Structure 1
Amino acid sequence: MAKANPLQEQLLKAGLVKKSKVAEVAHAQNKARQGKGPATPNEIQLDAERARAEKAERDRALSAERKAQARNAELRAQARQIIEDRKVPRAGESEYRFTADGAIRTVLVNDDLRKKLSAGALVIVRLDERFELLPRAAAEKVRERDASMIVLDHGQEPGSEPAATTSEDDAYYAQFKVPDDLVW
């Protein structure tokens, strides 16, 4: 038999317990120590683990959102830099009108710039509160980074137009000739 603890020895000497009872209790205690498996988690531990998992998920989502915002800010800054570097100097006294944000806006251009805008070789982009002219290649780079900066682009693919006209409409409007020098 293993060495009993001092309290058990005192109880045996006093005759208050039998040797068989002490051995039985020691055996039960030993068995209880050996047979212990992982403790079942209680309700508080489960709640704490659930809260940790939810917090980790919120932190991941918040981190992803911050990264997306940082990426958008970086792309916007790149687009601004492209506009600043590649803008076409405006010259002329002729007004070129276009719509932006539901209002009619005006930029001053010469005849050469007007032809390039109409042909789609130049694009109008917004930079803060002003509008700039960009060559098509630079405008495509801006569109890749932030398409909302493009205000007017006559050179877009035909499939990207908002509404395609029907041949019936074309036939009707063909009877009204528009002069080539019309400026609105």
Structure 2
Amino acid sequence: MAKGNPLQQQLLKAGLVKKSQVSQAAREQEKARHGKGPAAPTDSQREADRLRAEKAERDRAIEAERKAGAQAQERKAQIRQIIETQKVARDGDSEYRFNDGTLIRTLLVNAALRRQLAVGSLVIVRFGDGFELVPRAAADKIRERDAGVIVLDNGQNKGHDEPSTGNAEDDAYYAQFQVPDDLIW
């Protein structure tokens, strides 16, 4: 104990610390003085770290894609359930024609269903290979999930101005003619 730190010796003499504590502190100081710092990473370690990071990123991307697919499937199932539970029974012998993209489709409806379609209280939606009629409330729920399923919604444009021809004089002239909503073509 001849070589110890003078402060440590004074603390030992005063009885404030034990000899084992002084020895432990001395060993830790010696290790800190002579101890090695962290070794520089080798090329193989850097390559392994890079590969681990790439794999983790790929795994995150795959998981995100899987979650997006699962959410899309869930939305489709919700839409299918809404249509199955809310669809309106179709009957009648009158043809109702509507646009489905570039094609003209036909549904057989009665006069009451035709009026409801014209005013927008019923909406035509795509269901499997065919089409179904659903009430406006159900159509709004479907639109929240996937607006592409809705084929015809005459009530969606309510509150918007009538389409313009671009010429104010023509618009004023044609405004005097009433076009029926249930025009059969």
Normalized against structure 2, the TM-score is what? 0.73
- 1:170 shift after superposition: 2.2
- Summarize the alignment of residues 29-108 of structure 1 with structure 2, pairs less than 5 Å apart: 34-108=34-108
Give, in angstroms, the shift of residue 58 of structure 1: 1.3
Tell me by how many angstroms 1:128 deviates. Answer: 1.2
Cα shift readout 1:47-77 (whole Å, capped 9, x = no counterpart): 1101111110111111011101101100110
Structure 1 residues without counterparts, runs of 5 or longer:
1-29
Distance verdict in 2 for CA 1:143–1:105, change over 3 Å: same
For each residue in 1:124-181, what CA deviation from the matched residue of structure 2 results, as whole angstroms up to 9, or x when unmatched?
Answer: 00011100000001111111122111111111145789x9425625225346664677
Q: Following TM superposition, by how much is the alpha carbon of 1:101 offset from its aligned partner in structure 2, in angstroms?
A: 2.8
CA distance in 1, matches of 2:36, 2:160: 71
Aligned residues: 153
2:172 pairs with 1:183: no
**How far, CA to CA, are the matches of 2:146 and 2:180 in structure 1?**
36
Any unmatched runs of 5+ in structure 2?
Answer: 1-29
* Residue number in structure 2 paired with 1:21: none
Give distance in 2, aligned partners of 1:66 and 1:181: 46
Mapping of 1:132-143 within 5 angstroms? 132-143=132-143
- 2:172 maps to a residue whose letter is A
Runs of 4+ in 1 over 4 A off after TM superposition: 157-161, 175-181
Partner of 2:21: none
Code of the residue aligned with 1:153 in structure 2: it is D
Q: 1:160 to 1:128 in 2, by over 3 A?
A: farther
Which amino acid in the other structure matches residue 78 of structure 1? Answer: Q
Say whether the 8 Å CA contact 2:118–2:181 is kept in structure 1.
no
> Is the Cα contact below 8 Å between 2:94 and 2:110 reproduced in 1?
yes
* Equivalent in the alignment of 2:174: 173
CA pair 152-181 structure 1, distance change in 2 beyond 3 A? closer
Q: Which amino acid aligns with 2:114?
A: R
Deviations 1:16-70 (A, max 9, x none): xxxxxxxxxxxxxx99x94321111011211110111111011111101110110
